Structure 1
Amino acid sequence: MSQERCILTTLTIAFLFYCSGDVSCRILNPVILVPGDGGTQFEAKLDKSSSLHGSCVNKTKDYVSLWLNMKYFLPWKIDCFVENMKLVYNRTTRTTSNTRGVDIRISDFGGTSTVEWLDPSQFFLTSYFYHIVKAMVSWGYKRGVSVRGVPFDFRKAPNEFKELYQKMKALIEETYSINNNTRVILLGHSMGNPTSLYFYNIMTQAWKDKYIEAHVSLAGVWTGAIKPLKLFASGDRLGVVIVKPIKVRAEQRGMPSSAWLMPSDKA
């Protein structure tokens, strides 16, 4: 069974359970999708004075697709991608910022477009939550109303998620309100699960009792993962066969989330 089909089957079983045996499920608990590492579209607007080499674009008039834009994985473009995607770490503040001249934007918070597809062109290899949302719509859910998304900067770790958690709180409360005061189910994938857990831990029990129905965990990274060790050591092509792992190592090493997802916090 493919990973996508396995996830969809798990989700179907979970929601049939919450319908208490009523397949028609007249009152649908609204669902908010919390994506994992790499599970959100990024757009970038460039205003750089220079680049690594001539095939890299220095300036753009508007925001253009960055992650997951497949053209950047071509051998002569991968350096451009790394330069635009990597973070700069401040050892004093213990926070990160984008590379100088790179402004990154994440769109459609509360919608699903930037978590259904990782490339806005909807190239078939970049589908993410699309098939799950498509199935949910067939059950009676409505995009942007009863099924919503939390696209976020997956490069970072919870110490920089203060603004994200404020937006999540407001989104959950709004979703509860526009769905007849029906409690919300959060569905997290991979890194989206510990990211959600940090959010739950800063909220009061009274707030959670009022607004949260359940949390559905898909492939949750609850005790860390081994892959970040490879990201730091040699880089990882993440399934893109034309990419040399060493080419993307600098970008992967610069993501605090790579360290946060290691099996031990002593890293």
Structure 2
Amino acid sequence: MDVQLHRLLPLLLLLSWPFFRRGDHSAARDAADLHPIVILPGHSCSQLDARLTEEYEPAAPPSCGARKGKGWFRLWENRTALQDPALLPCYAEQLRLVYDPVAGDYRNVRGVDVRVVSFGTTGGFIPRCPSYRKLVEALEGVGYKDGGNLFGAPYDFRYGPAPRGQPAQHFAHFVSSLRLLVERASARNGNKPVILVSHSQGGINAMAFLDQSPLPWRRRYVKHFVMVSTGAGGIVTALRALASSVSHPPPPGDVLSLFGNTGRSFESTFLTLPSPKVFAHTPLVITRARNYSAYDIPELLAAAGFSDDEVARYRTRTLPGVLNFSAPIVPVTCINGVGVPTPELVYWDDIDAEPRVVYGDGDGNVNLASVLALDTVIGKYLGQDYYKSVLIPNATHTGILADDFARQRVVSEILQANTAVY
């Protein structure tokens, strides 16, 4: 009985809020009526700067240390390095993450300091992902202003949240910075609580942020969470990328292989792999030797060339978080595209051949199964008064922000969150 009460306590605390009723959704009257917004962008949209200290000892050509002591430079996305084969090994090495088994946590390569560009503003991610510019312009059209009542929370997408009890120093810093940003946004706007708006992987970070923030703080500072283009169970596209990497390994010495290995070093690499909780034992990758379901991802990672240590980190560090994906104790609106061909099954006939893909429903990236799981994981927990799912036909993963019809619906839902009464 005590265990049941413990499980019900968060829901009872949520329900202690007065019921919210839908208000006038037509439009907010003016900027003074608007609740401030903080946008969390998707994977790789944030820009990163780096600087090299005297501790940096390049494993790549010695010339990679030429910037030692010369201040900050653009690391992601460094277009000069990407276009120059001579610079690409340096770029790949400096962007890589290292897992420290003693600390039980990820860190930068020694001697490489990295910072996120323009935290607190939307300018930190618009240059990398122009679709956000259209969203920001649409919000400005209804009274929002960057730095006034509209803010951005770009993050170092190489890192990710870890299960409770495991070290995650970088993500803990992100949580602290975002919490302070939310508080400042509220204070600057008449102490109104904030609306969090996320897209894609930004939703995973927002969920972890809310989970790690005390309930009284959430009740005080978060009015609503609008989560766009994020499912509850990962995506099959991530498995397609794994199969492709095995089918077409880069030639030895190819500088692109350095960048590929860099991507594999990121803590966030495993975050979007399909969840056994959603996809269960359904085959997702079919090969001549065997079939792989979401339960078989460790074996698939091993087949794709990940080391035993990397596979173990998926089991102990990523999988527990995936399986514990649960409702944040705040009102939530989930907005997703559907009706777009989306990879659903990967046929890996021959290790030397390009994988063949069977397509199902979704937004081109997030599978419909992952979208519908939101109703179970979040909707049934929060109830219809605190949860809303919006499906937009023919809206793609990024087009949901760029296409006029879909973007207008996203803005409309944000305005509804503004006028909702709790």
Answer yes or no: same fold by TM over 0.5: yes
1:45 aligned onto 2:47: no
1:60-99 superposed matches below 5 A: 60=68, 61-74=70-83, 76=85, 77-99=87-109
1:14 aligned residue: none
Is the CA contact 2:41–2:199 (under 8 Å) kept in the aligned structure 1?
yes
CA deviation digits over 1:25-80, x for unaligned, max 9? 55112110112211211001124444523774532512111111222222503322
Answer whether contact 2:50 2:115 (CA < 8 A) is retained: yes
Structure 2 counterpart of 1:171: 181
Which one of 210, 218, 238 corresponds to residue 208 of structure 1? 218
Name the structure 2 match of 1:22.
Answer: 27
Kept in 2: contact 1:231–1:253 (CA 8 A):
no
Per-residue CA deviations over 1:90-148 (Å, capped at 9, x if unaligned) read: 12322111112221121322122212223xxxxxxx53522222222232212112110
5+ unaligned residues in a row in structure 2: which ranges?
A: 1-21, 163-167, 247-253, 276-313, 320-422
Q: Distance in 2 between matches of 1:72 and 1:87?
A: 18
1:153 aligns with 2:156: yes
User: For the structure 1 residues 100 and 65, does the alpha-carbon distance in structure 2 shift closer, same or farther, using more than 3 Å as the test?
Assistant: same
C-alpha contact 2:98 2:107 (8 A) present in aligned 1: yes
Q: 2:146 aligns with which of 123, 143, 152?
A: 143
Distance in 2 (alpha carbons) for counterparts of 1:94 and 1:168: 24
Equivalent-residue separation in structure 1 for 2:114 and 2:270 (angstroms): 22
Pick closer, same or farther for the CA change 1:138–1:174 going to 2, 3 Å: same
CA 96–230 in structure 1, closer or farther in 2 if over 3 Å, else same: farther
Q: Which secondary structure does the structure 1 equivalent of 2:117 belong to?
A: coil
- Of 262, 265, 273, 1:254 maps to 265
- Read off the aligned partner of 2:272 and give its amino acid letter: L
TM-score w.r.t. the length of structure 1 is 0.78
Look up the equivalent residue of 1:261 and give its one-letter code: T
Paired amino acid for 1:22: A
Find 1:197's aligned residue among 207, 211, 226: 207
CA distance in 2, matches of 1:84, 1:141: 37
- The one-character-per-residue Cα deviations of 1:171-221 (angstroms, maximum 9, x if unpaired) are 111111111122211111111111111121223333222221211112114
SS of residue matched to 1:43: strand
Task: Give the distance between the partners of 1:151 and 1:57, measured in 2 at CA.
Answer: 27
Equivalent residue, structure 1, for 2:392? none
Q: Secondary structure at the match of 2:140?
A: helix
Q: Is the 8 A contact 1:231 1:249 kept in 2?
A: no
CA contact 1:50–1:58 (8 Å) conserved in 2: no
Task: Measure the CA separation in 2 of the matches of 1:20 and 1:223.
Answer: 31
In structure 2, relative to structure 1, the CA distance for the partners of 1:50 and 1:154 (3 Å cut) is closer
Please show how residues 94-113 of structure 1 align to structure 2 within 5 Å: 94-113=104-123
Q: Comparing 52-61 with 101-110, which one deviates more in the overlay?
A: 52-61
Q: CA 1:71/1:128 → structure 2, altered by over 3 Å: closer, same or farther?
A: farther
Q: Which is bigger in relative contact order (C-alpha 8 A, separation at least 6)?
A: 1
5+ unaligned residues in a row in structure 1: which ranges? 1-16, 119-125, 237-242
Gap change, CA 1:18 and 1:86, over 3 Å in 2: farther
Alpha carbons 1:232, 1:253 under 8 Å: kept = no
Whole-Å separation in 1 of the counterparts to 2:159 and 2:173: 12
C-alpha distance 18-38 of structure 1, shift in aligned 2 (>3 A)? farther
> Structure 1 residues 117 and 91, CA, compared in 2 at 3 Å: closer, same or farther?
same
Q: Is the 8 A contact 2:28 2:142 kept in 1?
A: no
State the identity as a percent.
Answer: 26
Partner SS state of residue 130, structure 1: helix
Q: Distance in 2 between matches of 1:190 and 1:112?
A: 16
Q: Matched residue of 1:158: which SS?
A: coil
User: How many pairs were matched up?
Assistant: 238
Name the aligned partner's letter for residue 188 of structure 2. Answer: I
CA distance in 2, matches of 1:179, 1:261: 35
